[in-house]
């Protein structure tokens, strides 16, 4: 993939030195180190919000909930939730 965008950020000299030291210890450039670790963390954040695991009791509860139709209160709550704008959407 060809890089076409840039990201600029301001950090302290101490933070820069720490990043440089870590990057050098891995034989990477500062940019490669920051990009690799930032992308890994971004993936973890997204996966943390899209994947979950359940023990057997939780699995049973989930299946019971899925097998029974939701109440009117639950439906109103879900309608409100799905109608809400996420913080990153423009008004």
Q: Could you tell me the pTM of the whole model?
A: 0.55
CA distances from 74 to 7, 67, 87 (A): 43, 15, 23
Supply the pLDDT for residue 47. Answer: 80
Supply the pLDDT for residue 41. Answer: 93
The verdict on 23 and 42 lying in the same domain is yes
Are the beta carbons of 54 and 62 closer than 8 angstroms? yes
Domain presence at residue 30: yes
pLDDT tens for residues 8-55? 999 999 999 999 999 999 999 999 999 999 999 998 888 888 778 899
The verdict on 24 and 44 lying in the same domain is yes
Domain presence at residue 38: yes
Supply the pLDDT for residue 54. Answer: 93
- Residue 77's domain comprises 53-85
The verdict on 43 and 60 lying in the same domain is no
Mean pLDDT (whole number) for 81-88: 81
Q: Which two tokens stand for residue 9?
A: 């950020």
Mean pLDDT (whole number) for 61-86: 90
CA distances from 50 to 20, 29, 31, 65 (A): 33, 32, 28, 19
Domain presence at residue 69: yes
The verdict on 44 and 57 lying in the same domain is no
What is the domain count for the chain? 2
Domain presence at residue 1: no
Burial 71-84 (b: 16+ CB within 10 A, else e): eeeeeeeeeeeeee
């Amino acid at each position: 993939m060809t890089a076409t965008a840039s990201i600029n950020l301001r950090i302290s000299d101490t933070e820069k030195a720490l990043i440089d030291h870590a990057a050098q210890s891995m034989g990477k450039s500062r940019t490669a180190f920051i990009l690799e670790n930032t992308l890994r963390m971004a993936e973890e954040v997204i996966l943390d919000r899209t994947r979950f695991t359940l023990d057997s009791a939780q699995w049973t509860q989930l299946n019971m909930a899925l097998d029974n139709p939701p109440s009117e209160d639950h439906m109103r709550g879900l309608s409100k939730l799905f109608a809400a704008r996420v913080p990153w959407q423009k008004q």
